[in-house]
Structure 1
């Protein structure tokens, strides 16, 4: 069982688009103290398969805006949650000019050969 499940359940019940609990409130929800790393913004940010990230990501939330002075974290409902992921096209690799010229020559040769074969078949059909 994921120990961050109570946080997942709490976020699933949240009606608003934002929730700004104190770290103490989060600990109350979880029933155990947060690790010391939770005092750093990096622990809250990102999108990974770490159990604490899955607690909010799986319910369409993202965490951020750690306010160390106030001891709060702001969770925002992710407007893109549930939308299909955009796959970026691979970068276009520009061919060297010489390679492009060779490709054109090769294409021309293929067309000429094809026309020659077609002519040979047509001529053969007439003689028979």
Structure 2
């Protein structure tokens, strides 16, 4: 269970499309101080895999508009929050060329080893004569 669950529960009860608490109000909801990183906008946005981001994204909110001077952050209701981004289109794969680079490297390596082996055999033969 995330330590940000109280914030998540608070946002789940919110009926409006916007909530603009002070950072102190958020700390009161959480029951602990926010980390120093919360003074930066990047802490409120970014990767959705962070536990604090899940607190609002899971309930359809996005955190925006960090106002450091006023000590507030604004949460906006967003129906797409928490949903994974659409898959990126993968470049087409040309079946005939798949794996050719690796095979070429292996072939080249075998050829080098065989060549070195033949060269060593000839040098050894020359020493015996």
The interval holding the TM-score normalised by the smaller chain is 0.5 to 0.7
Moved over 2 A (4+): 79-82, 84-128
Taking structure 2 as the reference length, the TM-score comes to: 0.64
Please say which of residues 45-54 and 93-102 is displaced more in the overlay.
93-102
Helix, strand or coil for the counterpart of 1:119?
helix
Deviation digits for residues 19-72 of structure 1, max 9, x if unmatched? 000000000000000001100111001132111011011111111110001000
**Alignment: residue pair count:** 127
Aligned CA distance change for structure 1 residues 126 and 69 (closer, same or farther; 3 Å)? closer
Aligned CA distance change for structure 1 residues 16 and 107 (closer, same or farther; 3 Å)? farther
Match of 1:9 in 2: 9
Aligned CA distance change for structure 1 residues 103 and 35 (closer, same or farther; 3 Å)? closer
Helix, strand or coil for the counterpart of 1:32?
coil
Aligned CA distance change for structure 1 residues 92 and 14 (closer, same or farther; 3 Å)? farther
Aligned CA distance change for structure 1 residues 102 and 53 (closer, same or farther; 3 Å)? closer
| Partners of 1:47 and 1:57 within 8 A in 2 | no
Deviation digits for residues 78-114 of structure 1, max 9, x if unmatched? 13247x8465464899999999999999999999999
| Partners of 2:19 and 2:75 within 8 A in 1 | yes
Helix, strand or coil for the counterpart of 1:74?
strand
Give the distance between the partners of 2:124 and 2:68, measured in 1 at CA: 87
Aligned CA distance change for structure 1 residues 73 and 123 (closer, same or farther; 3 Å)? closer
The answer for unaligned runs of 5 or more in structure 2 is none
Give the distance between the partners of 1:29 and 1:85, measured in 2 at CA: 33
Taking structure 1 as the reference length, the TM-score comes to: 0.64
Please say which of residues 37-46 and 89-98 is displaced more in the overlay.
89-98
Match of 1:50 in 2: 50
